[in-house]
């Protein structure tokens, strides 16, 4: 019985019960009842900090028929309680919670009754709950992103970003944030299924399932029990296993109330699971059914992917490697860091998760890093990652601070780790576990003793606690429950403040925090880049949804609320002055901020990929937003793709041409992720901005095998000759033997503000099809960063923020499900266009 949906809630001390929605939280329930304004609108965040100081009560009545008493046991299944609460059933205390990351199953049959039942959950303020711990400690932990004096977030096993971050607001929520319900159990239940792969080749897979069963002692004496295993994709694996006291199981133990059964399998000619872009992410679905005679007692579905995965982090001739080897092949990781998709996490619906993964796949990514300041994501997130071939770097939920390590805290963390390791370990997408985000870096470089006044003795104790938590507690849980999976104590291994680019993975923040130029991306290339980025604003159409036009200047108090980095707006503007002409107005500033972000990170994407095998990963900060704001995201809170996401799509293509200049030479390198070489033709052309070809070269090549290679080097002076560099672009194209375009690039010889761009005449020819709207675009002169937008339409064009050459029409498409042609034609009339030299026009 699902117990979500309509509940009631009230603030403790108030008499009136109000409607509430579960899953949900106190903020969204207050909003739905008109008691607070939209937390995301303008500067409302500042007026809502009182909510975290209060206790909140939730209740629901539900009716049970007599049939529920046919069950041997009834459990309350609560998948997510945020965070400190006591549960009461019909006036009796049923249980409690102190960790939002742990789901619970609580036996409750003895407290239930036929007819109406009352479930109550009393949530206590996370602030009032943890303040005594801070006061008893006598010092403040260095949780610098916690936007309070006491830094209480470290004591709570709750999303750290709820307490504030440099891209998100402070909304310290309470509530039932995941599904809740009752489950009846008749005599037996499949408690857990653990997939273990022993060996894998193209000829054979050997693997096991450890099946944990809970069987009532009475049932074992009644009818024979059977565990049925079915695999529709490989029927030869189907089997039925008899279970009774006389049958000795593989582990040589008799069937008891808690039993573990190992089932061994062999599969000939297995279909492998591959990351996106390298092959099919094939899944084998297994159905486990526990039967008593013909009666079904319990069922469990489990999808598995057959693949080998190794994280290679070891000394080599270039320093210390860090890369992933999948099915025997070194794979360059292309992707982004993922943060909670909403400050109110229950609002992340399956549809929003699907939209995220459609965007990830469309951008040719193969990895997301689930960052340690948020939450362990919903089950559907990992299922979508499995289905789409997206590997997951999984942090435990610790970030940017030291933490307690007393026994009560460690016990809580052990339970959290066990719950989430068991929940996630069967997913083929799961690549590695990482203990925390940036704490090693903080210990070495963030001057915590000076900032927080730690004595040598106290700081030594805090670092000992750190080792206890991240070198013993968490890796111990991984070794016990997910043996063989790679565990990294802290990301990064090497630090950008030092000359350590040859050592392991890095978070490079010289660009942005260090105020170094974008060109440093081409010099500071690590073995694996797991964080780097630059901020931009949402476009005007998104900005208008959470601000008023009166707020549209960088010094406005409202924009400061939605810019959590203390130097953020100043940095965006100062970098822009170096590369672009001054924007004519605020709308243009928003647009150029996205262009700047995309073109800056393009340098990093290309430098990382062209440097393989030295560098084997590029995960930028960040894919998504948790609320509408200036941030490092490539997709804004409303789902609109920024210029960065479109650039990632281009830069993460299977084949990539990288053009740069070194010592007055123009280099052209070809990067390919292909596991088999392909015969192709490389075309290079020097064009002026009117489309005239001034020089060209053709050559036949074989694409490099899963690596990068230099394909051409040109003398800059000879190439440009007497031509004006401010009006020139080098165009590269790679085509297959059938003439189909594999990849292309454009390279400019001077910064954007020096380019002699002309005002273009853009032509747009619409076309309607069953799926949506197509636009064919043409121009009489080069258009830089052409951006098109349909008014009030959710969805994204197949390409945008692109450069358009004269005489070469370009077709883009947007899905408009269910819309008729008349409505599409009306939309076309409202298309808004802009580019680097053209203000927004309709």
At residue 219 the predicted structure's pLDDT band, cuts being 50, 70 and 90, is: low
Q: What is the pLDDT of residue 99?
A: 98
Q: How far apart are CA 589 and CA 611, in angstroms?
A: 33
What percent of the chain lies above the pLDDT cut of 90? 94
The reported pLDDT for the residue numbered 253 is 40
Q: With a threshold of 0.85, does the pTM exceed it? A: yes
Residue 180, beta-bridge partner list: 78
Give the model confidence (pLDDT) of 303-353 as tens digits: 999 999 999 999 999 999 999 999 999 999 999 999 999 999 999 999 999
Cβ contact 624:337 at 8 Å: no
pLDDT in the model for residue 187: 83
What SS3 string covers 590-623?
HHHHHHHHHHHHHHHHHHHHHCCCCCCEEEECCC
Q: How far apart are CA 359 and CA 740, in angstroms?
A: 24
Q: Is 5 exposed, middle or buried (0-12, 13-18, 19+ CB in 10 A)?
A: exposed
d(CA 545, CA 551): 12
Residue of 268, 293, 136, 149 whose CA lies nearest to 201: 268
Is pLDDT at 41 greater than 70 in this prediction?
yes
| Digit-coded pLDDT (tens) for 566-576 | 999 999 999 99
User: Which H or E run contains 27?
Assistant: helix 26-32
- Residue 524: predicted pLDDT: 97
Quick one: average pLDDT of 219-231? Answer: 80
CA distance 492 to 507: 6
Residue 712 phi/psi, 5-degree rounding, is -165, 145
CB 824 within 8 A of CB 769: no
The string of pLDDT tens digits covering residues 365-406 is: 999 999 999 999 999 999 999 999 999 999 999 999 999 999
The two three-digit tokens of residue 700, written as one number: 């036949």
> Strands 92-98 and 225-230, how do they pair?
unpaired
Which of left, alpha, beta for 720 (phi over 0: left; psi -120 to 50: alpha)? alpha
The pLDDT assigned to 838 comes to 78
What is the four-CA torsion angle of 159, 164, 168, 171, rounded to 10 degrees?
70
Whether 44 shows a pLDDT value over 90: the answer reads yes
Q: Would you say 250 and 261 are in contact if contact means Cβ atoms under 8 Å apart?
A: yes
β-partners of residue 258 are 214
Angle between helices 586-610 and 568-579 (to 10 degrees): 80
Mean pLDDT of the chain: 95
**pLDDT for the residue 246:** 46
Give me the sign of the Cα torsion angle 469, 479, 309, 300.
negative
Confidence of residue 216 (pLDDT cuts 50, 70, 90): confident
Q: Indicate the burial class of 81 (C-beta count within 10 angstroms; 0-12, 13-18, 19 or more).
A: buried
Distance CA 372, CA 338 (A): 10
Determine the Cα–Cα distance for residues 133 and 173; give it in Å rounded to an integer: 19
Q: Residue 256 pLDDT more than 70?
A: no
Range 537-563 average pLDDT: 97
Angle formed at CA 528 by CA 467 and CA 517, multiple of 5 degrees? 110
Residue 117 has pLDDT above 70, yes or no: yes
pLDDT at 255: 44
The CA distances from residue 650 to 642, 643, 655, in Å, are 13, 11, 10
More confident of the two residues 671 and 840: 671
Provide long-range contacts, Cβ within 8 A and 24+ apart, for 221-225.
222/292, 223/292, 223/293, 224/292, 224/293, 225/188, 225/255, 225/290, 225/291, 225/292
Q: Could you tell me which residues are beta bridge partners of residue 693?
A: 687
> Hey, what are 803's tokens?
């450069």
pLDDT digits (tens, 9 = 90+) for 658-688: 999 999 999 999 999 999 999 999 999 999 9
Q: 465-472: which pairs have CB atoms within 8 A and are 24 or more residues apart?
A: 465/402, 465/403, 465/404, 465/405, 466/402, 466/403, 466/405, 466/439, 468/405, 468/410, 469/398, 469/403, 469/405, 469/410, 469/413, 469/435, 470/398, 470/435, 470/436, 470/439
In tens, the pLDDT along 592-610 reads 999 999 999 999 999 999 9
């Amino acid at each position: 019985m699902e117990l979500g949906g309509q509940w009631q809630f009230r603030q403790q001390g108030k008499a009136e019960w109000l409607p509430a929605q579960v899953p949900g939280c106190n903020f969204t329930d207050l909003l739905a009842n008109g008691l607070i304004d939209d937390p995301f609108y303008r500067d409302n965040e500042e007026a809502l900090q009182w909510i975290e100081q209060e206790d909140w009560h939730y209740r629901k009545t539900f009716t049970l028929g007599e049939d529920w008493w046919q069950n041997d046991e009834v459990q309350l299944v609560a998948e997510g309680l945020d965070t400190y609460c006591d549960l009461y059933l019909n006036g009796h205390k049923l249980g409690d919670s102190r960790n939002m990351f742990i789901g619970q199953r609580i036996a409750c049959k003895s407290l239930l009754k036929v007819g109406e039942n009352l479930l109550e959950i009393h949530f206590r303020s996370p602030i009032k709950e943890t303040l005594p711990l801070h006061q008893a400690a006598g010092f403040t932990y260095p949780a610098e992103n916690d936007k309070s004096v006491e830094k209480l977030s470290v004591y709570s096993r709750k999303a750290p970003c709820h307490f504030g971050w440099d891209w998100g607001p402070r909304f310290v929520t309470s509530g039932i944030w995941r599904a809740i319900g009752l489950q009846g159990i008749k005599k037996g239940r499949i408690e857990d299924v653990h997939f273990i792969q022993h060996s894998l080749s193209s000829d054979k897979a050997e693997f096991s399932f450890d099946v944990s069963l809970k069987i009532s002692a009475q049932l074992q004496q009644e009818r024979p029990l059977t565990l049925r295993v079915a695999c529709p994709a490989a029927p030869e694996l189907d089997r039925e296993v008899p279970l009774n006291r006389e049958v000795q199981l593989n582990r040589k133990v008799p069937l008891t109330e808690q039993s573990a059964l190992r089932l061994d399998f062999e599969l000939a000619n297995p279909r492998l699971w591959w990351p996106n872009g390298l092959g099919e992410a094939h899944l084998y679905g297994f159905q486990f059914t526990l039967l008593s005679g013909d009666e079904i007692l319990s069922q469990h579905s489990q999808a598995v992917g057959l693949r080998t995965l190794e994280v290679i982090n070891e000394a080599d001739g270039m320093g210390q490697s860090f890369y992933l080897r999948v099915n025997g092949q070194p794979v360059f990781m292309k992707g982004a860091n993922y943060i909670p998709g909403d400050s109110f996490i229950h609002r992340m619906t399956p549809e929003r998760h699907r939209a995220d993964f459609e965007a990830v796949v469309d951008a040719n990514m193969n990895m997301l890093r689930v960052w340690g300041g948020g939450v362990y994501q919903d089950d559907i997130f990992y299922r979508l990652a499995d289905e789409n071939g997206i590997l997951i770097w999984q942090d435990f939920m610790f970030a940017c601070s030291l933490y307690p390590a007393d026994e009560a805290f460690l016990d809580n963390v052990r339970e959290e780790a066990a719950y989430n390791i068991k929940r996630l370990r069967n997913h083929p997408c799961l690549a590695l576990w990482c203990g925390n985000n940036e704490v090693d870096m903080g210990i070495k470089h963030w001057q915590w003793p000076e900032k927080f006044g730690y004595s040598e003795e106290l700081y030594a104790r805090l670092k000992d606690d750190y080792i206890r938590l991240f070198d013993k507690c968490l890796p111990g849980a991984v070794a016990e429950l997910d043996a063989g999976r790679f565990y990294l104590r802290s990301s990064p291994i090497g630090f950008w403040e030092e000359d350590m680019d040859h050592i392991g993975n890095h978070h490079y923040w010289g660009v942005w925090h260090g105020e170094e130029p974008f060109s440093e991306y081409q010099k500071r290339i690590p073995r694996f880049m797991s964080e780097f980025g630059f901020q931009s604003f949402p476009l005007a159409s998104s900005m208008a949804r959470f601000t008023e036009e009166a707020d549209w200047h960088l010094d406005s108090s409202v924009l400061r609320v939605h810019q959590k980095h203390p130097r953020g707006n100043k940095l965006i503007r100062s970098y822009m002055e170096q590369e672009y002409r001054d924007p004519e107005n605020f709308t243009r500033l928003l647009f150029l901020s996205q262009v700047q972000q995309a073109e800056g990170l393009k340098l990093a994407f290309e430098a990382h990929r062209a440097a393989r095998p030295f560098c084997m990963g590029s995960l930028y900060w960040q894919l998504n937003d948790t609320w509408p704001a200036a941030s490092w995201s490539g997709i804004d809170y409303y789902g609109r793709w920024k210029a960065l996401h479109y650039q990632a799509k281009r830069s993460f293509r299977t084949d990539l041409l990288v053009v740069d200049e070194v010592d007055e030479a123009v280099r052209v390198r070809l990067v390919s992720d292909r596991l088999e070489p392909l015969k192709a033709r490389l075309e290079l052309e020097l064009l002026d901005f009117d489309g005239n070809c001034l020089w060209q070269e053709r050559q036949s090549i074989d694409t490099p095998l899963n690596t990068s290679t230099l394909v051409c080097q040109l003398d800059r002076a000879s190439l440009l000759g007497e031509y004006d560099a401010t009006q020139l672009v080098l165009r590269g194209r790679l085509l297959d033997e059938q003439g189909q375009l594999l990849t292309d690039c454009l390279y400019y010889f001077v910064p954007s503000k020096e380019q002699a761009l002309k005002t273009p005449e853009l032509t747009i020819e619409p076309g309607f099809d069953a799926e949506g709207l197509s636009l064919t675009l043409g121009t009489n002169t080069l258009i830089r960063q052409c951006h098109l937008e349909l008014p009030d339409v959710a969805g994204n064009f197949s390409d945008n923020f692109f450069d358009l050459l004269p005489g070469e029409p370009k077709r883009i498409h947007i899905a408009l499900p269910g819309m008729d042609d008349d409505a599409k034609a009306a939309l076309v009339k409202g298309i808004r266009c802009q580019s680097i030299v053209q203000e927004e026009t309709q």
